Amino acid sequence: MEKIIIYIDEAGRWPLAWPVYVWLVAMKKRIVLKWFKDSKKCSEAVREKLYKRIIDHKSVCRTTAKRDHEVIDNQGISYAIQASISEGLEHLLNDFLEKKIVGLANIIEYIGKENITIMLDGKYDFKLRSMLGVEVKTVIHGDDLIPQIGMASILAKVERDHEMVSYHKKHLNYGFAQHKWYGTLAHRKALQKYGPCRIHRKSFLTKLQPC
């Protein structure tokens, strides 16, 4: 079997509220990739166009997974990312193979550990090497250096931003649509005035400095 390479990036590791997303991408055939890089270096309009191109491309196999604020508060952000990646891998590999094999360990056994490589943006492997036994490569600034990780970066950023805008309408006091849930001065002032809402990460709020 030809080696399957999975490219992964996350969005929402550091914000003060709700989910962390991961997006996973695998290529069904070699294609020329043009200008897919770190989503933070693209304007919102450009990200939206690239997002649609990726979603519509038949050679791009992709999936997403997320964990919400309760998982992050109870088990930590690293666990939330690891669990999201594991869930996403099961879905992605089944889609890639066009099969339905239950359980990530069973899928990896079917493919063969030597036939899977995971490429992660950043320097952390979230214990995937030891947990899965497959090759895991971490690439600092991978979303800017490797187009497929750039794809995952754009998918993660756009998908998360869409959901944040929808939650802005339900929690107007906090300005979620503007600061994307990061700990900006405006966000921290709103927290001081109104207190946290139900989707804030309570474990993150304990580390905030007073405005």
Give DSSP secondary structure letters for 106-147. HHHHHH-GGGEEEEEESS--TTHHHHH-SEEEEETTHHHH-H
User: Looking at the domain assignment, is residue 211 inside a domain?
Assistant: no
Residues 33, 72 within the same domain: yes
Looking at the 3D structure of the chain, how many domains does it have? 2
Q: What is the mean pLDDT of the chain?
A: 90
Report pLDDT digits (tens) over 146-193.
Answer: 889 988 998 988 888 888 788 888 889 999 888 888 999 999 999 999
- 157: domain CATH number is 3.30.420.10
Are residues 102 and 124 both part of a single domain? yes
User: Is the domain of 136 the same as that of 153?
Assistant: yes
Same domain, 14 and 45: yes
Please give the model's pTM, rounded to 2 decimal places: 0.90
Let me know whether 99 and 199 are in one domain: no
If asked whether residues 115 and 175 sit together in one domain, one would say: no
Residue 210 forms part of a structural domain: no
> Same domain, yes or no, for 142 and 184?
no
Residues 194 and 115 in one domain: no
Is residue 186 in some structural domain?
yes
Residue 193: the pLDDT is 95
Provide mean pLDDT across the span 201-210.
90
Domain co-membership, 31 together with 133: yes
Range of the domain at 180: 171-205
Do 27 and 119 lie in one domain? The reply is: yes
Q: Is the distance from CB of 69 to CB of 16 less than 8 angstroms?
A: no
Same domain for 131 and 200, yes or no, is no
Residue 128 lies in a domain: yes
Residue 184 and residue 122 share a domain: no
For residue 193, CA distances in Å to 174, 178, 187, 189 come to: 10, 18, 10, 6
Helix (H) or strand (E) holding 62: strand 60-67
